[in-house]
């Protein structure tokens, strides 16, 4: 069906072609067009960087009209100050909301700002949170240490143990928090089961979907209330920005926006511009990284020096069935345990020639890290092992390099470390 023509000057945050009711809108179409004005000021193709901290008024009547709209809670595209919004930021937010299938999105200064401010906004003294034990260590630390100062308690339950999840719920529990896939073991949450348990007890569900991206998984479709992303990773895609995002209902995002306005952990226009640019190629990058991740995981699983591979696309992964049911792809991060010890694993990492050694993922450059050294260096070996972090655990994040070259590099590093397999 032919799309309806757009009026010149019509400014919409919806995907351009096709519109709702006239056919499905593909992920790449949303990634390219959603959230951006059309036409742009001065008929530019690219969303500009609005480098301003203040937005001015034409006259007193303009000022009064804006303030009255603010008082009534009316929606308006009008802005007054950079901490409350920015057109470049709004473009990125509109794009993310469309990709996740949410009503609204909100950008933050980092992924941690997104999760911490969301929790601060939705919780109050005396509240209780249930979270899975395989969440990012800083998220667990925030709830266990920081929020405890403000009389907010939390309970960690084993990932995948839904009986323990329900048993941990108290009268004071307000929400359930999970990542999927998790870091670093790439466990995949059964979202319908989590949401089902939460709904029985009137709880909200927050899902950190950074590893999945909206290309591979959209938790809102399974009933989650809020989706969190570290936009630093796959969404930006080039290891050149720090940002976070929350996507959900109009009402919930309005609540979070008010908290953000008070605390000030906002995303700047330069970062938002880079994020808009990165999102346009998200679907293309994720497709390539999905394929590369699977190929690397299969290669590593066949190598005798590799004791275990954690990748939800492999049948050997304990959550493979859940991942196959829920996800359209399994991502570009592969974790694996090697034979030997901490030193041997370090030799392997140093023998790699393509991946950079670094603590992130999701960009166009491959990154590798020895998890015991980067994320858990301050812990004793016994403490690490208690939470499943083996000395030989390696996390590899593929980029967009030729996967055959990356596999060849992994092979030569294994040969150099353990001796040639020939």
Which residues carry out catalysis? Answer: 83, 136, 208, 233
Contact present, 369 and 359 (Cβ < 8 Å) = yes
Burial annotation 370-407 (CB, 10 A radius, 16+ → b, else e)? bbbeebbeeeeeeebeeeebbbbbbbbbbbbbebeebb
Contact present, 92 and 276 (Cβ < 8 Å) = yes
Contact present, 363 and 238 (Cβ < 8 Å) = yes
Contact present, 372 and 316 (Cβ < 8 Å) = no
Measured between its terminal Cα atoms, the distance across the chain in Å is: 59
Angle, vertex CA 394, rays to CA 391 and CA 395, nearest 5: 140
Determine the Cα–Cα distance for residues 179 and 131; give it in Å rounded to an integer: 9
Q: Tell me which DSSP letter residue 146 carries.
A: I
Determine the Cα–Cα distance for residues 176 and 162; give it in Å rounded to an integer: 12
Give backbone dihedrals phi and psi of 236, rounded to 5 degrees, phi first. Answer: -70, -50
């Amino acid at each position: 069906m032919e799309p309806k023509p757009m009026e010149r000057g019509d400014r919409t945050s919806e995907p351009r072609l096709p519109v709702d009711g006239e056919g499905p809108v593909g992920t790449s179409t949303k990634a390219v067009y959603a959230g951006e004005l059309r036409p742009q000021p001065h008929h530019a193709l690219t969303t500009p960087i609005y480098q301003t901290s203040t937005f001015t008024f034409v006259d007193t009547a303009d000022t009064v009209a804006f303030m009255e709209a603010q008082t009534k809670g009316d929606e308006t595209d009008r802005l007054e100050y950079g901490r409350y919004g920015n057109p470049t930021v709004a473009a990125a937010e509109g794009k993310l909301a469309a990709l996740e299938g949410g009503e609204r999105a909100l950008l933050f200064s980092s992924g941690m700002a997104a999760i911490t401010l969301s929790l601060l906004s939705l919780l109050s003294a005396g509240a209780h949170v249930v979270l899975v034990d395989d969440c990012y260590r800083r998220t667990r630390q925030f709830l266990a240490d920081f929020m405890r100062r403000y009389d907010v308690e939390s309970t960690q339950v084993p990932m995948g143990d839904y009986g323990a999840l329900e048993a941990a719920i108290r009268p004071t529990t307000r929400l359930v928090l999970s990542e999927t896939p998790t870091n670093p073991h790439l466990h995949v949450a059964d979202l319908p089961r989590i949401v089902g348990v939460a709904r029985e007890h009137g709880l909200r569900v927050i899902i950190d979907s950074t590893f999945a991206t909206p290309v591979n998984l959209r938790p809102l479709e399974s009933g989650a209330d809020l989706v969190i992303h570290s936009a630093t990773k796959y969404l930006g895609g080039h290891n050149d920005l720090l940002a976070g995002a929350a996507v959900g209902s109009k009402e919930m995002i309005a609540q979070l926006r008010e908290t953000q306005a008070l605390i000030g952990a906002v995303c700047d226009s330069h970062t938002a511009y880079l994020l808009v640019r990165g999102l346009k190629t998200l679907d293309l990058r994720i497709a390539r990284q999905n394929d590369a991740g699977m190929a690397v995981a299969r290669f590593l699983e066949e190598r005798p020096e590799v004791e275990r591979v954690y990748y939800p696309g492999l049948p050997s992964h304990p959550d493979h069935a859940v991942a196959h049911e829920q996800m359209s792809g399994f991502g570009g991060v592969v974790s694996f345990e090697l034979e030997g010890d901490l030193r041997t694993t370090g030799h392997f990492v140093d023998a790699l020639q393509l991946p950079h050694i670094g603590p992130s993922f999701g960009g166009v450059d491959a990154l590798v890290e020895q998890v015991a050294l980067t994320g858990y260096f301050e812990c004793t070996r016994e403490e690490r092992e208690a939470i499943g972090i083996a000395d030989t655990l390696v996390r590899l994040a593929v980029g967009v390099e030729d996967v055959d070259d990356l596999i060849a590099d992994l092979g030569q590093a294994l040969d150099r470390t353990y001796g040639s397999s020939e």
